[in-house]
Chains A and B, each alone.
Chain A
Amino acid sequence: MKKRFSSLISLLLLLCIVVSSLASCDLINGLINPDQGQGQGDQHTHVDYVEQVKFNPDSDTVKIEVDIKMHIDGDTTHFYVPHSFDTNGYIKARYLAVNTPESTGKIEEWGKAASQFTEEKLLNAHSIIVESDNDRWNHDGNGRYLVWVWYQPEEGAEYRNLNIELLQSGLAVGSKAGDTRYGDIAVNAINQAMQEKLYIFSDDIDPQFPYGEAQSVTLKELRLNTADYNGQKVSVEGLVVYNSNYTVYIEAYDAETDMYYGMQVFYGYNSSLHSVLAQGNTVRVVGVVSDFHGTWQISGLYYNPMKPEDPANTAKLSTGNELPFTEITAEKFYSTVTLTVDDVEKTMKYTQAAVSTLVAMKNLKVIDVYTTKTGDSAGAMTLTCQVDGKTIDVRTEVLKDATGNVVTESYFRNKTIDVQGLIDYFDLNDTGNGTYQIKVYSLNDVTIH
C-alpha cells in the first residue's frame, strides 16, 4: 500500500514538472489563446467581429440619430444634428479606435479605398446613430466628437458598427483601440486583418495610389483635363498668387489661348514650405491631383529640402514677380469660351477655365450681404452685387480693418466697390452643381467708391 501510494505521488509530481515545462511552449499557448497571433501556416478561421458587437440602445452611453452633412474621409464625417444638440446644426465626428490612411491633404495607400468604403456604407444606410464611448460626449483636441458610428444597412436590419468594420476590413489601423468600450473586439479585428493581410496589411498594389514618377504638365493642360489626372502625381510650374493658411493658388499664362490657368494647392502642415510657396514666387509643385469637395487641388506635395536642385522636387524657381490681375466684365464672367487643346476643341464656361486665377472687376453695387454665423467660416461674408445687369457674388474671408476689428455687413451694404480676387468654385452641399464667385482675402482687395 505504501509503495503504491509513493509511486502515485511520484507520478503526480512528475506530471506537474512536465505540464509546467510545456506551459512555456507555444503548443499550450496556442490552445489557451487561440485568437492570438497564429503563425504563418496555422489554420485560421475567419471571425466576423462586426457580427459580434451589438448595438445596445439601453447602455449608459449617449447616442443620437444623425444624417450625413458632408463626407470627409475614412474616419471623419460631418453629421447634421438638431440645433438644440449643437448650435452649429452639425457635428464634426471623428471615429473612435480607428485611423484610416489619408486621402485629402496627404495621399496614402488605401486612403481612397477607405474613404469610399465609409462613404458607400453611410450613403446607403437607412439609419445612422453615433454613440459616445462612455456616459458623455467626448471631443478630441480639435473639438471633434469622438464616436462609434452605427449604421442600419436597410430598414429593419441590425445596426452594424462601422468602426469595427473598417478595422476588420483592413482599411484602418487602430488608434488607442484597446482603451475603448469595444476595445477587445477592435484589437481582435485588427489582428485578424493583419493575419489575413488585408489592404493596409497586404503587399498588394493600391490601384488608386500614384506610384512612380510625376508627370510634367502645364497648368493649362491640367486645368482643362483635370479629371484625367485625378489621383495622378504631377509636376507643374506656376506663379503663386495667393497663400492662405497652407493653401496656395498658382497660375500660369498661355499665349495660345491668351488666358491664365490656375490650380489650388494644399501643402499641409509643413511650415518649411511657406517661404518656398510665398506670394510672388514662381514654383514647381510636385504632388497628387485630387477632388476636394468639388474643387480640384494638388496635395500630398513631395518636398525634400536636402535636394533643392532635384527636378522631381517641389521648389522655388524665382521670387518677386508681379501679380497679374485680369480685368474682366460681368459679361466675360458669364461667358463661354472655346479652347483648343491638343487639336481638340472644348467649350466651357469662362469661369470653369479660369477658376483659381486672379481677376479684377469694377463698379459692383452691393445689394445684399450674408454673414456666415457658425462653423469655421463664421464672420465671412457673401456680397451679392449687381453690375451691368448681372449678379456677381463676392465671397470674403473674415476681414479685419487696420485696427484688427472684424469688418461687418454695414461696411459694404449698398456701396459700390471694385474688387480683385480669385475666381472660386462654391458648392455648399457637394451637389456637383455649384456656382462661381470672386473670392477676396483681405480688405485691401476691396476699394469702396
Chain B
Amino acid sequence: MKRIIASILLTVVLLTGMLGTLTGCNLFGPNPGKNVDFVMPEGGFDTTTPVTIKFYHSMGAALQEILNETIAEFNKIYPNITVEHESLGDYDGVRDQIKTEIAVGGQPNLAYCYPDHIALYNKAGAVQTLDVFISDPTYGFTQEQLDDFIEGYYNEGKVFGDGKMYSLPLSKSTEVLYYNVEALVAAGVVDAEGNAAPPTTWEEMEDACKKLKAHFGESCIPLGYDSESNWFITMCEQYKSPYTSATGEHFLFDNEQNRSFVKMFREWYQNKWVTTEALSGGYTSALFTGETSSGDASSTRCYMCIGSTGGATYQQPNSTNGKFEFTVGIAPMPQVDPANPKVISQGPSVTIFKKSDPQEVLASWLFAKYLATDVSYQARVSMSNGYAPVIKSVSENTIYAEFLASASTENIQAYAVKVALEQEAAYYASPAFNGSSVAREQVGLLLQQCFTLEATADNIDAKIKQAFEECVNQCKYQSE
C-alpha cells in the first residue's frame, strides 16, 4: 500500500515538473507574456479578427500627433489592428518600464530602443528576431525596400554578435561640425578663395584652434564637443582601434592607440582649445551661440561645435526678423582618415517582443515595417525634429527635397539633416551586449578624468594608463 501511494505521488510530481518545465508553468491558463518564438500562423495574418498591439516610446506632443495620423493611414490598410501607444518620458524611462514588465511577461508588443536596451531585454530572451519576417515572401521586405535603407542605420539592428536582426531603424541623428562662418574667416581659417574652411581632419582642427585662439584671445575656447562618450568611441572607430566586443572579452579599449589620442586631446583641453558639456557645466552650444554671454568681450565663446544633428536648433544664434547674429556652417566632423570616415549614428530604433499570440507579433511587425518604410511618416518626422530619415527614397519626395534645399542658418534643421544624409557611408554601430551601456558611460567619464588629471610630463603616461585600467575594471564590476 505504501509503495502504491509513493508511486502515485512520484508520478504526479514528475508530471508536474515536466509540465512546468515545458510550458513555463501554465497552471492557470495561457500566459500571453511568455517568450515564445514566432511561428508563421497558417493562413498568415488574419485581417478579420481584431488585434491590439502596445507601443512604448518617448515621443513628445509634436511627434505623437504625427504618429496618430500615421496610425490612421496604417489602419486604412489594416483596419483590424489597434495600436495603443504610450510615451514614457525618455529612452531610459522606456527601458526601465520594460525591464520591470518583462519580469512578469507583461512587456509591450513594440518599443523604441537603443542596442543596449535590446541586450538587456535579451537576458530574458524577450526580443523577437526579425529575420523570419524580413525574408517572408508575403510580409517581408522586397529587395527594393532593403536597398532603400541607409545601410549604416539598418546594420545597427544586428550588432549583437550572432548576426541576427533585432530592430529596425526609425529615425536617426549623428554628429556634425557646426562652425561660425564669420569667425573662421576673421581668424584666417579659410580656403584659397578666402571662404571659411572648416577642418576635415584632426590636424586641420588643431591648426584651426590655434588660429581662433590667437585671433580671439583668452575668452575663446575654439571647439566645443558635448559628448565625451561619443568622442571617445568615434575616435576608436576612426583609428580602427579596439573599443568593445559583443563576444569574448568585452572591454577592449585600454590600448596604446586610445591612450595616445586621449593624451593628445588632453593637451588640447589644457591649452583651452576644447571643452565638453561636463567640463564646461552645460551644453557647449550655448557657448557657440553666445546664449550664456553677457555680450561683452570677456564672455567665453566657442566658434566650432561638434554636436548632434538632433539638436541643430540649439546651435542657431539669436535672430531678429530673419537676421542672425552670425552665419552657421555645418560640415562633417573631422576624420583621422578622410578616405575612410567614421561618424556615430544615434536615435531610436524599434524592436518587437515575443508573445504567445503570433497574430500580435505579426501585427507588430507590420506596424514596425510601416513606420520604417512609409515615406510620409519618415519625411514628417524628419521635418519636425531634424532627425534623418532611415530610407533614401524620402529625399525624392518633392516636399522633402524642398526642405533639404532650404538648408541654411535659417532652416538649420534642414541643413543638419542634409549633411547627415551626405555622410551615410560613414556610419558605424558599436557592439551591444550586457555592459555596453556601462562601457559607453565609463569611457565618457574616463575622458573627463584624463583631461583634468594633475600630472607632470614625467608621470602623465602612467596616470593615463592607470585611469584606463581602472575604467576597464569599473566596466567589468558594473556589468556583473
Indicate with 1 or 0, residue by residue over B316-348, a CB within 8 angstroms of chain A CB atoms.
101111110100000000000000000000000
B353 vs chain A, min Cβ distance (A): 14
Q: Which B residues are in CB contact (< 8 Å) with A379?
A: 294-295
B21 sits at the interface (CB 8 A): yes
Tell whether A334 is near chain B: CB-to-CB under 8 Å: no
Contacts of A244 in B (CB 8 A): 318-321
> In the complex the two chains form, is B412's CB within 8 Å of A271's CB?
yes
Within 8 A of B (CB), among A240-267: 242-245
Q: Are B104 and A39 neighbours in the complex by a CB distance under 8 Å?
A: yes
Task: State which residues 216-260 of B face A: CB under 8 Å.
Answer: 226
Verify if B105 is at the interface (C-beta below 8 Å from A).
yes
> Could you tell me which residues of chain B, from 264 to 286, have a CB within 8 Å of some CB in chain A?
277, 281-283, 286
- Cβ of B90 under 8 Å from chain A: yes
Contact B321 A243 (CB under 8 A): yes
B286 touches A177 (CB 8 A): no
Residue A217, interface by CB 8 Å: no
CB <8 Å contact, B380 and A305 = yes
**A25 in contact with B27 given A18-B13, A191-B100, A406-B296 (CB within 8 Å):** yes
Is B395 part of the binding interface, using a Cβ–Cβ cutoff of 8 Å?
A: no
Cβ–Cβ < 8 Å partners of B411 in chain A: 271-272, 274-275
Pick the residue among A143, A174, A271 that contacts B96 (CB under 8 A). A174
Cβ B89 vs Cβ A398 within 8 A: no
Bound: A15/B296 CA distance, A: 79
Is B448 in contact with chain A by the CB < 8 A criterion? no
Instruction: Decide if A441 touches B65 in the complex (CB within 8 Å).
Output: no
Q: Are A142 and B282 in contact (CB under 8 A)?
A: yes
Residue A36 is within 8 A (CB to CB) of chain B in the complex: yes
Count, A-B residue pairs, CB within 8 A: 192
CB-CB under 8 A from B69, the residues of chain A are: 304
Quick one: CB contact mask for A317-359 with B, threshold 8 Å, 1 for yes? 0000000000000000000000000000000000000000000
* Beta-carbon contact of A142 and B86 below 8 Å: no
| Chain B proximity mask over A389-418: 1 for CB below 8 Å, otherwise 0 | 000000001101000001000000000000
Given contacts A37-B104, A441-B320, contact A174 B281 (CB under 8 A): no
CA–CA, A37 to B89, complex, Å? 19
Could you tell me the distance between the alpha carbons of A441 and B413 in the complex, rounded to whole angstroms? Answer: 25
Q: Does A78 contact B (CB under 8 A)?
A: no
Please tell me if the beta carbons of B100 and A36 are within 8 angstroms of each other in the complex.
yes
Whether A25 and B92, one on each chain, are in contact in the complex, defined by CB atoms closer than 8 angstroms, is no
Asked if B146 is an interface residue, CB under 8 A from chain A, the answer is no
B295 and A406 within 8 A (CB): yes
CA distance A26 to B65 in the complex (A): 37
A279-B321 in contact given A18-B13, A21-B25 (Cβ < 8 Å): yes
Contacts known (A14-B13, A139-B281, A174-B93); A33 close to B24, Cβ less than 8 A:
no
Determine whether B313 belongs to the interface, using a CB cutoff of 8 Å to chain A.
yes
Residues on A with C-beta less than 8 A from B25 are 21-22, 24-27
* A369 contacts partner chain B, Cβ-Cβ < 8 Å: no
| Inter-chain contact B384/A270, CB cutoff 8 Å | yes
Given A14-B17, A243-B319, A271-B412; A177-B96 close (CB under 8 Å): yes
Q: Determine the chain A residues whose CB is within 8 A of the CB of B103 once the complex forms.
A: 29, 33, 36-37
Name the segment of A45-53, A99-107, A152-160, A222-230 touching the other chain.
A99-107
> Which chain A residue has the least Cβ–Cβ distance from B90?
A175
Docked CA distance A21–B12 (Å): 14
Most buried by A among B25, B283, B410: B25
A15 touches B13 (CB 8 A): yes
**A14→B12 CA distance, assembly (Å):** 10
Is residue A215 within 8 Å, beta carbon to beta carbon, of the partner chain? no
A178 adjacent to chain B (CB < 8 Å): yes
Contact at B92–A176, with CB atoms within 8 Å? yes
Q: Which residues of B contact A141 (CB under 8 A)?
A: 226, 277, 282-283
B104 & A143 in contact (Cβ 8 Å cutoff):
no
A184 CA to B9 CA, complexed, in Å: 43
Interfacial residues of chain B within 336-386, with CB under 8 A of chain A in the complex: 376, 379-380, 383-384, 386
Given A22-B20, A27-B25, A244-B320, check contact A108 B97 (CB 8 Å): no
- Contact assessment for B24 and A25 in the assembled complex, using a CB-CB cutoff below 8 Å: yes
Residues of chain A within 8 A of B86, CB atoms compared: 201
In the assembled complex, A447 has its CB within 8 A of some CB on chain B:
no
A269 on interface, CB distance cutoff 8 Å: yes
Complex CA distance for A123 and B384, rounded to whole angstroms: 36
A38 cross-chain contacts in B, Cβ below 8 A: 104
CB distance from A176 to the nearest CB of B (A): 5
A398 to chain B, nearest CB (A): 6
B82, CB-defined interface residue at 8 Å: no
Q: Which residues in B have their C-beta under 8 angstroms from that of A26?
A: 25, 28, 31, 104-105
- Docked pose: A379 CA to B325 CA in angstroms: 15
Do A27 and B13 have beta carbons less than 8 Å apart?
A: no
Q: Which of B9, B96, B414 is the one whose CB lies under 8 Å from A272?
A: B414
A278 interfacial contact with B, CB 8 Å: yes
A149 to chain B, nearest CB (A): 18
A21-B20, A272-B414 given. 5 additional CB < 8 A pairs? A143-B281, A172-B89, A187-B100, A272-B411, A441-B321
Give me the 3 closest cross-chain CB pairs, A-B, nearest first: A25-B25, A21-B20, A173-B89
Binding site for A on B (CB under 8 A): 6, 9-10, 13-14, 16-21, 24-25, 27-28, 31, 60-62, 65, 69, 86-90, 92-93, 96-97, 100-101, 103-106, 226, 277, 281-283, 286, 292, 294-296, 312-314, 316, 318-323, 325, 376, 379-380, 383-384, 386, 399, 403, 406, 410-414
26 example contacts (A-B, Cβ-Cβ < 8 A) are as follows A18-B17, A21-B18, A24-B21, A25-B20, A26-B105, A29-B103, A29-B104, A30-B104, A37-B101, A37-B106, A108-B61, A142-B283, A142-B286, A143-B281, A172-B89, A175-B90, A175-B93, A176-B90, A187-B100, A190-B96, A191-B97, A242-B321, A244-B320, A270-B413, A272-B414, A308-B399
